[in-house]
Amino acid sequence: GEDVEQSLFLSVREGDSSVINCTYTDSSSTYLYWYKQEPGAGLQLLTYIFSNMDMKQDQRLTVLLNKKDKHLSLRIADTQTGDSAIYFCAESMGYGGSQGNLIFGKGTKLSVKP
């Protein structure tokens, strides 16, 4: 069945790099996403990666995809206190370019200590 797993908590010091990991089960997923949710707010799209890519970099964010192991990671360089939030990994169950419905993990709560 469809399942996305994430570790629940991560704590880092300001200025360090954060790495949030995710595993997914559906090898037919064409897109994988990272969303950020701050307290009391909706979801903010951070970045996404096509399943035929290994890596994508976007400013402080680096996404690594190991399709063989169905493992996705999000690295945040120079983590700031404003990065404290819950980060969700999601796989797309759509076809072609359609996102269809997203399957989300339970989220990783990132705490950044000054």
Partner 1 sequence: ETGVTQSPTHLIKTRGQQVTLRCSSQSGHNTVSWYQQALGQGPQFIFQYYREEENGRGNFPPRFSGLQFPNYSSELNVNALELDDSALYLCASSQFREGQETQYFGPGTRLLVL
Which residues make up the interface to partner 1 (CB under 8 A)? 4, 31, 35, 41-45, 48, 88, 90, 94, 96-107
- How many residues does the structure list for the chain? 114
C-alpha dihedral (11, 47, 43, 28), degrees to nearest 10: -100
Shortest separation between residue 66's beta carbon and partner 1, angstroms:
21
Shortest separation between residue 39's beta carbon and partner 1, angstroms:
11
Neighbours of 49 (CB within 10 A): 19
Question: Between residues 81 and 101, which has the closer beta carbon with respect to partner 1?
Answer: 101
Question: Between residues 15 and 100, which has the closer beta carbon with respect to partner 1?
Answer: 100
Q: Which residue is associated with the tokens 């970099």? A: 57
